[in-house]
Amino acid sequence: MKVKLFDESHELDLEKSINKFLSEKEIDLIDIKYEVALGICGEDQIYCFSAMIIYR
């Protein structure tokens, strides 16, 4: 079993990264874990979109 981690600052970038990985690899997909984190720095909101693909 293997894992691949993705981390992007925009959800569409995360989607593109995952789709690219899945289209380039011949894998047996087991699961995808998805997470969104939000941080606040002054008046700025900082988002982190991440995913972990578990595969064989």
- Structural domains of the chain, with CATH: 2-55 (3.30.1660)
pTM score of the predicted model? 0.84
What pLDDT score does 35 carry?
Answer: 97
Cα–Cα distances in Å, from 45 out to 1, 8, 10, 24, 41? 36, 14, 12, 33, 6
Low-confidence ranges of the chain (pLDDT < 70): none
What pLDDT score does 25 carry?
Answer: 87
What pLDDT score does 49 carry?
Answer: 97
What pLDDT score does 42 carry?
Answer: 93
